[in-house]
Amino acid sequence: MDHEANPTSGKEPLNSGNELQLAMFGMGCFWSPEALFGHLPGVMKTRVGYAGGTTANPTYRQMGDHTETVQVEFDPGRIAFEDILNVFWDSHNPVNINDYKGRQYMSLLLYFDERQNDTIRHVLQNRKEQGKAEPATEVVPAAPFTLAEDKHQKYYLKRFPDAIEKLSTLYPTETDLRNSTLAARLNGLAKGYTSLERILEEIYQWSFEHREQQLLIDLIKKIRW
């Protein structure tokens, strides 16, 4: 498990007092899933990388038996793991992506402890009772996660140079940007999963000084999309 310090924590929302948790998924090309989960209130960080295989030092060009995955760090006081699981299964078709280009794009769910595994079984049972087909998803214990190259992190946000230029005043390094809750939301906006109005409404609810809050709001209002 790869945790990184966030030196810009003064510009990020505080959690609800609960310990943050990790979730990790493979559901096709990892660009869209990162934007999908990144737009959800309660998700604090998103990162994309390679997991689920045995090949040493995987890269995008030499992934071996790994799968493209998104790692989500979330606040369980704001969003339940059960809700994240339903977003996962409602947002891709495991049958269509399984075995496409080997394991690269397979439907993969990695759990970090038995509590998560129990929740997964509970959600699957509920979905079965609702008449939904059992997904062809490989469910396995969490495995080592290797960060993907920088160009794959917050991919859709990086397609807007003005957004990156303005955000660089708050998040000057790639690590800062990758760990930013705001960047996760704006990546979701760039992909079309959320709206600027929803992001601003959420920022007004973030628990930090009004001056910092207004700094973020003024900055993102100036971005040219």
Place of tokens 């945790």: 3
Catalytic residue among 11, 22, 27, 29: 29
Q: Residue 107 forms beta bridges with which residues?
A: 27
Alpha carbon separation from 48 to 57, 74, 152, 153, 184 (Å, rounded):
15, 15, 7, 6, 12
Are 220 and 186 a contacting pair, CB within 8 Å? yes
- Cα separation, 142 vs 43, whole angstroms: 19
- Cα separation, 90 vs 92, whole angstroms: 6
Are 88 and 32 a contacting pair, CB within 8 Å? no
- Cα separation, 198 vs 209, whole angstroms: 20
Question: Does the annotation mark 179 as catalytic?
Answer: no
- Cα separation, 213 vs 204, whole angstroms: 7
Active site residues: 29
